[in-house]
Structure formats: structure tokens, C-alpha cells
Homo-oligomer: A and B are copies of this chain.
């Protein structure tokens, strides 16, 4: 089947990730999309960088992005340049030329989205932007399609990894903001100029986009209330903790009769909530719908490959919809019907997992040595162990062990040997353990 041709604008972090993942998973992505998705042109001012990423591949390289959006061979333009300036011109030009657009540019959409979507609608092309909010988490798809039965009441998200990392560190180490920011910059979690992140602007861009999709309203970034974390003091994080709360930078959109609340600010959240336990650079969005109740979406909100995951999901979506006919709708089982593989399900004996073992043993010297010897002979490593003191007046006690991974049949054989030891009473209780 004829490939769909992609022009990639910008080969930085996300562009590089997109290039790499699309190449690495080409076979599987084609099985899902129904036709190959092929990057035919890469444009970047840094031609040297483009050359090194695309080394050995049959790809046109250019330092002229405007030539790419005019290229008649290109079906989809992927805009990964960022910012409001040249990116806006390129996206509008691509639309004008009848090309579908995939972008990760939240600033552009929050500020110029209304103009861009109107142009796309007029021209009958798609502008897809899953990567603009919460990186690899498919939150745009969930809001736009997965929850379409609901009157969405509110959503609240940890949608900026830099600030969540800083807040996690401030809490864990009791350090002031300025010091943790320096650490975050050294570790690459914060940029040299972190203003957009720490002042809440980036989160406000994303909250603006989500509010539009959730409530069916235009982008209104200029009306958003934006407060960052720069004034947050470690003492308040500590007091909040004493009261049972965590402080997170949330992007909040809430529908009320009078209008819509759209705001970003440091927020206390009860520590029992799942979202309060989202730590480090991770993102999560909580959505409240009138039918479904609360649902939560969690994952990596930034980085080359997580963001590329969203960019490419959009490419697959556009490919499936662009060629919409009964054979190219979204396939029932994700992969095209003629692309299913007959891979065998393994018998449980062949499964690889870790184990929890509980044994009832006589409280005698050497018992533990016998048991651990059997495990060692079976190449099963012990990860943790509890040996209880026998209860008052009892001669027996419990031993609990956690093992490292092994094949189930190997574990079963070892357990049979352990059960055959005269000092072991009855059957070994065996549960499987996954570190996930």
C-alpha cells in the first residue's frame, strides 16, 4: 500500500525521538496504520544535526521549512519547532497547502489555536496535537473521544514535570525553591531559562487546550489565571504535610453556571488521593465526568520518546482517518485484520515471575540452611525474608521469603523439594510477585 509521506520540521529532542521511534517500530506501526508512515523530508536550521540523525537513510534534508510545507509529495507536516512565531506561519501555510498537521506546540495552540483550527476546518484537513499536553499520556484522546458521553465537570492536572520534580524534591529534602531549581537544572529537569515552567505558563497553555476540548469553548489563554511556584516556601509544604496534604502545581478547568474557571497555581491536595502521589517529573490528569465519575491518566509528560509516542499516535490517527473507508477505519483489534500474528500463549509453567513463599517449619537449627540450599541449587535468588519467632508454647514458626524472577516450573520443582524436607510442615503457600 502507498506510504503516507511525512515532512518533519525540527529535529531537536522531540523531533529526534519521533524519527527514532518511527524507524524502530516501523513494522508494528504499519501493521496498525494500514500503510507505511514514512518521513520523506527533515527540515532543521541545524543541517549537521539532521544529517547525524538521518545518517544512512533515504531522506531529504533541508534547512528551509517553508519548502517542506510546499512540497507536493508531503501528506502530513509534523511541526516540532515550538514557539509562536515561525511555527504559526508554517502551520498555516501547511494547512493552506492542504496538508494535515501534527504538532506538539502547546504555546502555539493555546494562543493561536482558534485561528489554526478554523483554517484547518475550512480546508478539510486535520491538525492533531496529542503531544501538546502531558507528553505520552493520551489525554487529548481521552477527553475528545473516550469521555464523549459525559458532561465534563472539571479536570485538574499535574501537567508540568519540571515543577512537579521541584516540588517533590522540596518536600523530600526540605530544601528551599532556589536550591532545588539549581539541582533540577544540573540534572536536566529544568531548562537554563526555566521561566515558562516555574511561572506556570507552560501548565496554563496545556490547561487552556484541555478546557477547550472538555467544555467545547474556544481557547482563552489570555483569560487564564497563572501563578507559578517561585514564591512557595518549604515551611508551607511541611505544614501542609502535617495536615495531611501535598502541594502540587495544578492546572484546573472547572465548569460553573456563571462561566469557566481556568487557573494554574500551587494547590493543596489530600495526600490520600492518587494524584497527590504523582512524584518527580511524572504527569497526571484527573477528569470528572457526570457519568463516569473520576478517571485518572498518568505517565511521562515530557522527554524525547514519550512525546514522540504521542506525535506518532497522531500520525497513525491521521493516516487511518485520512484514508477513511471500511478497510481503514480504526481496526477492531488495533492492528489491521491481515496483520494479526498467531503468537502462542505460553503455558503457566513457562511464565517468568517472582514469588512470595510462606513455609511452616520446625524451629530447629539448620532449617533455613536446608531451604536456602534448595533454592540456590535451583538458581533462585532470595530478595527478602522474614523469620518469625515461634509463638508462646509452639515449636513451629513461619518463614516468609520473596524471590527474584525465575521460570514457574523451576519454582515449582524447588517448592516440591522444600515440601519434602521433614522439618517443613504441610504445603508451601506460593503467591506471584511483580515489581511492575
Contacts and interface: CB of A to CB of B under 8 A. Distances in A.
| Residues of A in contact with B, size category | 35 or more
A352 B150 CA distance: 23
Contacts of A274: 274, 277-278, 298
Nearest to A247: B431
Contacts of A52: none
A118 B212 CA distance: 38
Which of A21, A141, A225, A291 has the most CB atoms of chain B within a 10 A radius of its CB? Answer: A291
Given A25-B291, A28-B151, A291-B305, A313 B145 contact: yes
A31 interface: yes
A1 interface: no
Interface stretch (A42-50, A60-68, A178-186, A236-244): A236-244
A197 interface: no
Given A243-B386, A295-B299, A259 B343 contact: yes
Q: Which of A149, A305, A400 has the most CB of B within 10 A?
A: A149
B243 A400 contact: yes
A262 interface: yes
Contacts of A118: 337
A236 B218 CA distance: 54
A380 interface: no
Interface string A293-337: 111111110000110111111011100010011110111111101
A274 to B, nearest CB: 6
A371 interface: no
A243 B335 contact: no
A187 interface: no
Contacts of A296: 296-299
- The main secondary structure of chain A at its interface with chain B is mixed
Nearest to A150: B309
Contacts of A256: 346, 352
A399 B309 CA distance: 47
Contact of A268 (B315, B346, B432): B432
A412 interface: no
A289 B156 CA distance: 25
Chain B CB within 10 A, most for which of A22, A292, A311, A358:
A292
Interface string A221-239: 0011100000011011001
A136 interface: yes
A266 interface: yes
**A145, A250, A305, A341: residue with the most chain B Cβ atoms closer than 10 Å:** A145
B321 A330 contact: yes
Interface in A382-408: 384, 386, 398, 400, 402
Contacts of A354: 268
A124 to B, nearest CB: 3
Contacts of A309: 147, 149-150, 289, 291-292
A431 to B, nearest CB: 6
B356 A236 contact: yes
A325 B121 CA distance: 12
Contact of A224 (B141, B252, B345): B345
A339 interface: yes
A87 interface: no
Given A33-B148, A258-B350, A296-B299, A236 B138 contact: no
Given A145-B330, A225-B351, 4 more contacts: A260-B343, A263-B348, A270-B436, A294-B299
